[in-house]
Amino acid sequence: MKITNVTAYPVDDGKPALFVVVDTDAGLSGVGEAGATPQMLAIATYVEAHLKPFLLGEDPFRIEHLWQRMFRGGFFPGGNVVSSAVSAIDIALWDIKGQALGVPVYELLGGRARDRVVCYPHNGGGTIEQLVESCLRTKEQGWKFVRFSPNTAGNLFEPARAVRESIKMVEAVRNAVGEDIEICFDVHTRFDPADTIRFCRAVEPYHPFFIEDPLRSENAASFHHLRRHVSVPLAAGEQYTSKWEFRELIENDLIDYARTDLCIVGGITEAKKVAGWAETHYIKLATHNPLGPVSSAACLALNLACNNVGVMEQPQQPGTALTNVVPVQMTWEDGYLLPPERPGLGVVFDREAAARLPCHPVPRDHLHREDGSFTNW
């Protein structure tokens, strides 16, 4: 079997996404998904202009070999754009191999370590009352987790004010949903260390499952300072593009949950290595998955096959987004994703529908402070 084509599909079906299809001369095609969607056009160009020439005529079963060739082929480390492109192709190769062998991808990763994977949705609201209503709705639907972030009003973000409001948000949600629902709070890298320490200490009595991205990701050493001053569980890593970027957080036990994004970190191949490394430090996976159904399928395959899994991000129930482009998606039941029975990733990608829904990204608004300076999105 040989690779005959690689095609990128930037689409918008109510939600922007970048899919990549790898075709073979055996009639099998695999689909992957790329992260870092604000840069999706650059990623799509890199897939077709730079990686496709490496891949044509290659054996799609040699996944590790092709990963190394793609990752190292440009000599200079590529960052989010290159790693997201590699990720999408890597996921598609695993999809092809599973289809060719007639088994789901999780069987290729060692088989099921669990029967289902617990996941959390996205909650929110312009007011604390609306946030509480959102969390109660998801509880009624069967979700076991809620997740929310600091509020932003008209792209205005004042950290001290946001800390005070966020503490009230966590308190109100805990009082509303009770002790049996887990709370994940995503700082989204918007706080500096002093603000994060104040926030984490204040919400400790409400037993959050984890505080996500409590600091900016550029300086992993800042987590040493944070870890010395807080005791709540910490989660980070969604912006990391390889196992090497996880090194400091894992080796120094600075996080409790690895927020590995399979569509940025290098696909299933690299995410499996991060998972094994994290297991030696008793760090669990909390796979980052704000994307589409192909990302969900890849995360599910990895989480089914790994022992050290805490929770999987799943913004909404499968079958509620990008259904024109991916008409067959994962199965959700009572807060869990269930193992697919179809071979490969278990999803169906409609490339004709994707071609009819091209995405034209628009500039993203920046968060700013009252003095006009920018802060993290």
Q: How many helices (H) and strands (E) does the chain have?
A: 13, 15
Question: 268-271 contacts: CB < 8 A, separation 24 or more?
Answer: 268/90, 268/91, 268/94, 268/105, 268/109, 268/298, 268/301, 268/302, 269/63, 269/64, 269/67, 269/90, 269/94, 270/67, 270/87, 270/90, 270/242, 270/243, 271/302
Look up 188 and say whether it is catalytic. Answer: yes
d(CA 244, CA 252): 13
Q: Is 348 helix (H, G, I), strand (E, B) or coil?
A: strand
Surface-to-core class of residue 206, CB atoms within 10 Å of its CB (0-12 exposed, 13-18 middle, 19+ buried):
middle
Q: Which of 207, 225, 229, 288 is catalytic?
A: 288
Look up 50 and say whether it is catalytic. Answer: no
Q: With the C-alpha atoms ordered 119, 125, 127, 132, is the resulting torsion angle positive or negative?
A: negative
**Residues ≥6 apart with Cβ < 8 Å to 219:** none
Rg value, the chain, Cα: 20
Q: Which of 188, 225, 281, 368 is catalytic?
A: 188
The two most distant CA atoms of the chain are separated, in Å, by 60
**Residues ≥6 apart with Cβ < 8 Å to 131:** 123, 124, 125, 148, 169, 172, 173
Q: Taking the CA of residue 214 as centre, how many other CA atoms within 13 Å lie in the half-sphere pointing to its CB?
A: 33
d(CA 258, CA 265): 12
**Residues ≥6 apart with Cβ < 8 Å to 282:** 308
The 8-class DSSP code of residue 365 comes to P
Q: Is 38 helix (H, G, I), strand (E, B) or coil?
A: helix
Place of tokens 């972030």: 149
- As a whole number of Å, the end-to-end CA separation of the chain is 44
Supply the residues annotated as catalytic. Answer: 188, 288
